[in-house]
């Protein structure tokens, strides 16, 4: 089955700096790659996603890049703010009727003042 690895497990940045989280996946047939943000005690919420026919997608301060050849994708957060502090999860899916997600193990991002 699919395997998703995520790095780093923890990341501390100063407010205003950029943060980058990287994921690799094993199944070259995976075609959908979402990123979820989870605040303490809350449910995971989708922040951005990308499909395999696109190399990059941006939404304000958040961007995701995908390298299908290398089977890795990354989340970029620019101009970080304290409210960006949370755990971020990447995931990969083969799509189709079931569209099961395989998640990475998460990155705890701390934005310090």
Partner 1 sequence: NAGVTQTPKFQVLKTGQSMTLQCAQDMNHNSMYWYRQDPGMGLRLIYYSASEGTTDKGEVPNGYNVSRLNKREFSLRLESAAPSQTSVYFCASRPGQEETQYFGPGTRLLVL
Give the residue with the Cβ less far from partner 1, 2 or 78: 2
Q: Is residue 40 within 8 Å of residue 33, measured between CB atoms?
A: no
**Residues contacting 36, CB < 8 A, separation 6+:** 44, 45, 46, 47, 88, 89, 91, 103
Give the residue with the Cβ less far from partner 1, 78 or 103: 103
Give the integer Cα–Cα distance in Å for 79 and 22.
Answer: 18
Q: How far is the CB of 32 from partner 1 (least distance, A)?
A: 5
Give the integer Cα–Cα distance in Å for 14 and 92.
Answer: 29
Per CB under 8 A, residues contacting partner 1 are 1, 6, 9, 32, 34, 42-46, 49, 51, 89, 93, 95, 97-106
Give the residue with the Cβ less far from partner 1, 1 or 14: 1
Burial class (CB in 10 A: 0-12, 13-18, 19+), 97: exposed
Q: How far is the CB of 67 from partner 1 (least distance, A)?
A: 20
Q: How far is the CB of 107 from partner 1 (least distance, A)?
A: 10
Q: How far is the CB of 97 from partner 1 (least distance, A)?
A: 5
Give the residue with the Cβ less far from partner 1, 23 or 77: 23
């Amino acid at each position: 089955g699919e395997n998703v690895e995520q790095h780093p497990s923890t990341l501390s940045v100063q407010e205003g700096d950029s943060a980058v989280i990287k994921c690799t996946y094993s199944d070259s047939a995976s075609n959908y790659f979402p990123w979820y943000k989870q605040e303490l005690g809350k449910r995971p919420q989708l922040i951005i996603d990308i499909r395999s026919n696109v190399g990059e997608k941006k939404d304000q301060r958040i961007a995701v890049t995908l390298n299908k050849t290398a089977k890795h994708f990354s989340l970029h957060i620019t101009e970080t703010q304290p409210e960006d502090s949370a755990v971020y999860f990447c995931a990969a899916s083969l799509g189709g009727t079931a569209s099961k997600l395989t998640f990475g193990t998460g990155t705890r991002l701390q934005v310090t003042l």
